Amino acid sequence: PIHAVELNQLEFSSNSKYKGSITPQKAKELLRLTYEFIGNLNLEAIAVLVDNVCLRNQYAKPTNPYLLAYEIMIEKFQKIINERNDKDNTFGVVNISNASTQLAMKLTKIHQDIMKIGTQYVKFTTIFPKLNIQDTRESCFFELADLICYAYQRSYRNWICQNMGKKTNEGENYLSYIENLCKNIRI
């Protein structure tokens, strides 16, 4: 696996797997090349960005933002499948990393409820009704998802720094390499 945090922050990490075998400059170059590679893959990533502050300011009792994010993600997933109108790509499977048993149970319940009743906007006809919960080592898709999330996290951090008048990390715009893959949704 490519550990973006360790590669990007090699000079600040004392226990990185990469320490001593690669220079900080080479580590960042490897990370850049990884993002260029991902940016050329034939895949789509649905990124749901939740602004907790605005969500809570807008609604007196907001829906759980993570439930809301999951609903929006699954709706977008169903719409992508429908819009393709491709007989070879008629089913969607949601893969979840088994990071925690409690989280897996909560997401399983949320997914089952949404699949049964749909949402206000979408009825689910082609998304597999059961989550595929796997150990992170069982699929490279978890590594890709982690790298995509890291690109968003770094972009968000740079935006915060820029707006606070603090130094940003130049040359760290990993999101620019993969933005063609991402379907961004803001809530």
- Those residues whose C-beta lies under 8 Å from the C-beta of residue 11, and which sit 6 or more positions away, are 24
User: What is the crossing angle of helices 101-117 and 65-84, to 10°?
Assistant: 50
Q: Helices (DSSP H) in 40-174: which residue ranges?
A: 52-58, 65-84, 101-117, 140-163
pLDDT at 34: 93
Q: How far apart are CA 177 and CA 168, in angstroms?
A: 18
Query: Which pTM was predicted?
Result: 0.73
Phi/psi for 63 (5° steps) reads -60, 150
Higher pLDDT, 151 or 66: 151
Q: How far is CA 135 from the centre of its chain?
A: 17
Q: Give residue 81's pLDDT band: very low, low, confident or very high (50, 70, 90).
A: confident
Q: Quick one: average pLDDT of 162-173?
A: 77
Which band of pLDDT confidence, cut at 50, 70 and 90, is reported for residue 153? confident
CA distances from 44 to 19, 39, 40, 88, 141 (A): 33, 10, 11, 16, 11
